[in-house]
Amino acid sequence: VNTVYAITWYAGQLAFKLWFRWHVYNVERVPLTGPVILASNHASFADPILIGCAVTSRPLFFMAKEELFRVPVFGFVIRLVNALPIRRGGVNRRALEEFAGLTRDGSRALLVFPEGTRTTDGSLGPAKRGVGALCRAARVPIIPTLILGTYELWPRWRLFPRWRGRIEVRFGAPVQWSDDELNASGDPSGALATLIMKRISDLHATDEPPLGFREGYRAILRRPTAGAGGPADEARDGRSTYVESR
């Protein structure tokens, strides 16, 4: 973990506990090692850092528009906190190869926003088809992630954030899908993108108690050991993420 990311993570943990009613659900669903994609709704500029601070087990990388890296100072800072540039203009073979390399070959935990932009009214929007194509190319576990409260905290039309409110980050079980089902839809990438957004939306209905900072660490320490056949092993090796076509 780079030093700037570590400092930001600890400072974020402290600040969010002091100023916000910040809660995290089921962080143990994020694999400890190996490549993984966290797919989240997008409501605010604050989403990447809040989700990053919620993941207690490993550093999180996130995608940002390539042009942001050319902004003086800002581009330098976001690179230090694990932002990775992504080109705009559609998903082509080169983009698919780059994305697969960032996740599978780089063994990173990568945060993506399937909606492609921040919400204008606080509701969930449709997923971009390209996100489905990228996730199909990567073929790694996909963890649906729902963040609540950041639209009220810092919507896109507000210049500065508010300093009070309740923030929740909820992690779901890995998205399960099969090539046969996706291909039967006639648009496999679009079908996977829609499925991912549905799994994110489903997290609204969770009734499990939220985990705080200490509880999250305890949940991680209580994970099944390798080979025990528990959920952590399934998420780590991808068995619960998709079913290969026969």
pTM for the model stands at 0.79
Other beta carbons within 10 Å of 150: 26
| 110 DSSP β-pair partners | 37, 61
| 211 DSSP β-pair partners | 24
**CB of 61 within 8 A of CB of 84?**
yes
pLDDT of residue 244: 38
CA–CA dist 141, 16 (Å, integer): 28
122-137 in b/e burial notation, b at 16+ Cβ within 10 A?
Answer: eebbebbbbbbbbbbb
pLDDT of residue 237: 43
Q: Residue 122 corresponds to which tokens in the numbers above?
A: 């606080």
Q: Residue 188 corresponds to which tokens in the numbers above?
A: 């496999």
What are the distances in angstroms from CA 123 to CA 28, 151, 153?
A: 26, 9, 14
Averaged pLDDT, groups of 10, the chain, 246 residues long: 83 84 92 95 91 92 83 86 75 73 83 91 92 91 96 85 87 95 95 97 76 56 46 40 39
Length of the chain as a residue count: 246
Q: Residue 69 corresponds to which tokens in the numbers above?
A: 């890296």
Where are the strands (E) in the chain, listed by range? 21-25, 36-40, 61-65, 83-86, 109-112, 142-148, 166-171, 177-178, 242-243
pLDDT of residue 143: 97
